[in-house]
Amino acid sequence: MANTSQSPDDGLVTFLPHRLNRQPIVVRGLTTDELWICAGLSAAAGLVPGLLLAWLTRSIAMVPTLLVASVAIGVFVGGGFLRRQKRGRPDTWLYRQLQWRLALRHPGLAAHVGGGGLITRTGVWTTRRLANRRRGA
């Protein structure tokens, strides 16, 4: 005899994977976007000393050598720093933090990166009801 009393969950996925849409961690706690940003900033920081050292030693090989060394150091140090900053925060915290800082310092540029709608006012927030209650009392 066949069992006719089947539960409604038979053949259905009973869970929703909550990490499905997250970017994977690639190196030292960095996602791919964060890794590219960290590597790009590190390479830019290593370009100037590389050019200076290449000019002093008259060897063009110093430029790529210092670029690679600065990227390696930047990813190692930057990955540890960002991992400590992101610990216990939501996935989008870093991007919102960058948008917020950009909105505070460069409001015209912030509109182009999605930071134009962020609240940048500082101060005490009150409601009118609270203010009206104080006046009436």
- Per-residue model confidence as pLDDT tens digits over 82-119: 888 888 888 788 888 888 888 888 777 777 777 667 76
Tell me the torsion sign for CA atoms 33, 36, 39, 42: negative
Read off the pLDDT of residues 60-75 as tens digits, 9 standing for 90 and up. 998 999 999 999 999 9
- Going by pLDDT thresholds of 50, 70 and 90, the confidence category of residue 4 is low
pLDDT digits (tens, 9 = 90+) for 40-54: 999 999 999 999 999
Q: Taking the model in full, what pTM does it have?
A: 0.62
Q: Is 46 exposed, middle or buried (0-12, 13-18, 19+ CB in 10 A)?
A: buried
Statement: residue 7 has pLDDT above 80: no
Domain ranges of the chain: 24-87, 90-120
Instruction: Say how many C-beta atoms besides its own lie within 10 A of residue 38's C-beta.
Output: 22
Burial 48-68 (b: 16+ CB within 10 A, else e): eebeeebeeeeeeebbeebbe
Residue 2 has pLDDT above 90, yes or no: no
